[in-house]
Amino acid sequence: MSELRQRISPKLSVHTLPADQPDVDPLTYEVIRHRMWSLTEEMGDTLKKMSGSPAVTEANDLDFAICDELGQEVQVGLYNTGLVASMDLAIYWILQHRSDSPGIHPGDMFLSNDPWVGGGLHQNDTAIIAPIFWEGELFAWTSAVCHLVDVGGVKPGSSDLEATEVFTEALPTPPIAIVRGGELQADIFDAFLRRSRMPHHVELDLRSQIGANQLAQRRLDELLGRYGSNTVKAVMKRMMNDAERRLRSRISSIPDGSWSSVSYMEQSGIGDRGLHQLALTLTKKDDHLTFDFTGTAPQAGMINCPYSGMRAGVLMSILPILAGDIPWSAGGLMRCFDIVTEEGTVNNATWPAAVGWGPISAGLATMNIVSECLGRMLDTSVDLRGRVQACCTSSYDVVTLAGVDRDGAPNVNIVFTPMAGGFGAKPHEDGADTAGSLNIPMGRAPDVEMQELTGPYLFLWRREEVDSGGAGRYRGGLSASTCLIPYETPQPIFGAFSSNGKARPEVNGLAGAYPGGPGLDVIVRDTNVAAMFEAGTIPTSLEELGGRVEVVPNRLETLINLVDAVYIQPTGGAGYGDPLLRDPAAVAEDVRNGKVSARAGVDVYGVSLSDGGEVDVSGTESRRADLREKRLGGKPSQAVGRARGHDEEAIDENLVVQRTDSSQLVRCGQCGHEVGQHGSDLIAGLTTQDAPLPSAIPGMFASPTDYVDRELVLRSYFCPECATQVRAEVVPADEVPTMR
């Protein structure tokens, strides 16, 4: 921060807390801290009441921050937490590049939608950022950012699936003064609106963001007038310091170590059939975390995000998983970790890479791999094991529909039902079904009726999909599918589809569980829906729709004809633990409730049910014995369920480490088998097995060959003595097996 201060123009007077400022008494501290917290909620209410955009009013794709004089985030909102990772970056940039010319003055506000600078994660994320002055000094900043439905570019919705560089996408705008001295700059405002296909929606959103900042100005003025600038600033600094202290204390309680994972993004654009690697090694040392993304693939096509998106991927995991009960003073929390990365990669793309799809492609893919490593890290801590959570529903399944509504007006909308994704399982409970998205705590899937009101389509169904949650001792949460048809529109609808996790389930389970179910988008051409409606029947399955089924690749732009139907199924939450250890009664209940298919109950969980749906105890014992024997190619030599030794520390539910003065042995926690040395590749001490897709994953409809050229398999790692599954992941068949 001292270097930043040196780059600020001397023209700008900045408030600085006196070195001899006395401590704030506990009561005053709590009053002011909670006022800051409630202010972000009040800003959210203001924006949502004024906005007309479904992304804001329905899906809560927005967020806010109150920052100190240098832009460090003191309090952030509970909306899209990924946006938190970019707002401070924009303020740093404004202080360095705008404090001299045109200057920063009371009543100013800056607009930014440049993801390399900050303020948002892609061009649709447009921020309004306001300096707060008190007695002539720059005291603080507030910011409001939300997803604008269309900000220009060659394609409706502003994100071009054929883009290979930013110049065919919406124009990124570095911070520009849209309000000066409290007066809206009509020329700047009109110039920005001119880009959009939906200028009225964009105008409402921008005005609502300006209004949210004006509200924050008034509330902070009241706070400063009552308590004084030094007291309020002391509270702001202490909020960040307290958050840092609490997170460092939590990190310190975890055993030191490193955890690595590799994931893949599919199809970098229309026509690509490749896999693009993301690599992460998380290292915990004392009270600090390091996220090292070395080995990640070079930037490619339109799946990239800049540094702000990678930083967002880290924060979107840390805030709910590690800091869920710590006040979100992000300026303090971010002191507890650093990021190592190469430039020019898919999650640290350099100008002029295409980044319009950044947050829901490389950004969320980064969140997934970070969440996996954090879950494995927390599983080693006795005290923090309750915070372990397998990965939640992965990359957002974006379907943008553009056409003409019932009144003949242009219409661009995103289908927000994929917000109803499944949460990952925990070591003692199933993941929540259709719980939402990890990165948007207050996110929601809009009512079907509201989506039909704002777009020219009709929903045939929205429901939880069987087998979409990853199998495990504790099952991952189910995701919701949607099927819709064009409705009350005179012409076909343009559809743009973009998602990861179709060729392979993107989110890995923990402790031997299956990954969350893969995503699937389908267009059914030339349906017989009209005839069914005339006969008084509503279709409830893809088979009943008739017509031709087209599996939608990861990236597609196409026309949805008036007789077509669109089916959208996002990925599900990942599981925890070996599925053969799941309580058979829980499997029977899942089958009865339509959460798990009867086939998965037998083939994956090894549970035999009677004709009445009750557990066949002897049949289940026999079936599970058969599956364990199939895993090893012979009968296991040990039974599962031994008691853990007093000198053994958990790696997860199925692996332990036994530490002595001379070695650190990894053993199977279920039978005691010696696997190998802790920190080394354990593959020699395990049995591996590759199973073909899609048959190996329950509920997987399409083949990986519909999406990518490399062969993909479900690779399982078993204890060679008791046949416990200690890890399962979908990987390229030609990838060398490793287990670290």
Angle between helices 307-321 and 364-378 (to 10 degrees): 40
- Return the percentage of the chain with pLDDT > 70, whole number: 100
Please report which helix (H) or strand (E) contains residue 364, including its range: helix 364-378
Q: Is residue 327 part of a domain?
A: no
Q: Identify the band that residue 661 occupies on the pLDDT scale cut at 50, 70 and 90.
A: confident
Same domain, 541 and 662: no
- Return the percentage of the chain with pLDDT > 90, whole number: 89
pLDDT at 604: 98
Burial class of 172 by CB neighbour count within 10 A (0 to 12, 13 to 18, 19+)? buried
Q: Identify the band that residue 440 occupies on the pLDDT scale cut at 50, 70 and 90.
A: confident
Q: Identify the band that residue 154 occupies on the pLDDT scale cut at 50, 70 and 90.
A: very high
Please say if the pLDDT value at position 363 is more than 90: yes
Q: Is residue 315 part of a domain?
A: no
Same domain, 568 and 660: no
pLDDT tens, position by position, 567-576: 999 999 999 9
Q: Identify the band that residue 731 occupies on the pLDDT scale cut at 50, 70 and 90.
A: very high
Q: Is residue 270 part of a domain?
A: no
Same domain, 641 and 572: no
**How many distinct structural domains can be found in the chain?**
3
pLDDT at 55: 85
Residues 507, 391 contacting (CB under 8 angstroms):
yes
Cα separation of 318 and 324, whole Å?
Answer: 8
Q: Identify the band that residue 189 occupies on the pLDDT scale cut at 50, 70 and 90.
A: very high
Please say if the pLDDT value at position 394 is more than 80: no
Structural tokens at position 230: 């030094």
pLDDT at 138: 98
pLDDT at 645: 83
- Select from 244, 265, 290 the last residue of a domain: 244
Same domain, 573 and 641: no
Cα separation of 693 and 517, whole Å?
Answer: 12
Q: Is residue 592 part of a domain?
A: no
Average pLDDT over residues 585-596: 98
- Select from 210, 244, 278 the last residue of a domain: 244
Nearest to 402 by CA among 393, 410, 394: 410
Please say if the pLDDT value at position 76 is more than 80: yes
Q: Is residue 359 part of a domain?
A: no
Average pLDDT over residues 419-442: 93
Helix residue ranges per DSSP H, 636-730: none
User: What letter would DSSP give residue 698?
Assistant: T
Question: Using a CB cutoff of 8 Å and minimum separation of 24, what contacts does 669-677 make?
Answer: 669/644, 670/640, 670/641, 670/642, 670/719, 670/722, 670/724, 671/638, 671/639, 671/640, 671/642, 671/719, 671/721, 671/722, 671/724, 672/638, 672/642, 672/645, 673/638, 673/719, 673/720, 673/721, 673/722, 675/719
pLDDT at 445: 85
Same domain, 554 and 685: no
Same domain, 201 and 53: yes
Residue scoring higher pLDDT (412 or 705): 705
- Select from 193, 228, 244 the last residue of a domain: 244
Helix residue ranges per DSSP H, 166-305: 186-193, 199-227, 229-252
Same domain, 415 and 547: yes
For tokens 């930083």, name the residue.
311
Residue-number span of the structural domain to which 87 is assigned: 2-11+46-244
Q: Is residue 122 part of a domain?
A: yes
Cα separation of 654 and 722, whole Å?
Answer: 11
pLDDT at 355: 97
Same domain, 564 and 645: no
Burial class of 611 by CB neighbour count within 10 A (0 to 12, 13 to 18, 19+)? exposed
pLDDT at 112: 98
Please say if the pLDDT value at position 601 is more than 90: yes
Same domain, 429 and 508: yes
> Lowest mean pLDDT: which of 35-49, 185-199, 433-447?
433-447
Q: Identify the band that residue 194 occupies on the pLDDT scale cut at 50, 70 and 90.
A: very high
Task: Report helix, strand and coil shares of the chain as percent, to nearest 5.
Answer: 30, 25, 45
Cα separation of 58 and 416, whole Å?
Answer: 8
Same domain, 171 and 95: yes
Residues 84, 63 contacting (CB under 8 angstroms):
yes
pLDDT at 178: 98
Q: Is residue 612 part of a domain?
A: no
Residues 129, 87 contacting (CB under 8 angstroms):
yes
Q: For the chain, how big is the Rg over CA atoms in Å? A: 26
Nearest to 125 by CA among 98, 153, 144, 97: 144
Same domain, 654 and 558: no
pLDDT at 242: 97
Average pLDDT over residues 330-342: 97
Cα separation of 370 and 314, whole Å?
Answer: 6
Please say if the pLDDT value at position 268 is more than 90: yes
pLDDT at 176: 98
Cα separation of 68 and 140, whole Å?
Answer: 4
Please say if the pLDDT value at position 647 is more than 80: yes
Is omega for the bond preceding 352 within 30 degrees of 0, making it cis?
A: yes
Burial class of 256 by CB neighbour count within 10 A (0 to 12, 13 to 18, 19+)? exposed
Cα separation of 707 and 740, whole Å?
Answer: 29
Average pLDDT over residues 428-448: 90
DSSP characters over 518-548: PPEEEEEES--HHHHHHTT----STGGG-SE
Residues 366, 133 contacting (CB under 8 angstroms):
no
Same domain, 675 and 527: no
Contacts of 191 (CB under 8 A, 6+ apart): none
pLDDT at 736: 95
Q: Is residue 630 part of a domain?
A: no
For tokens 């439905």, name the residue.
149
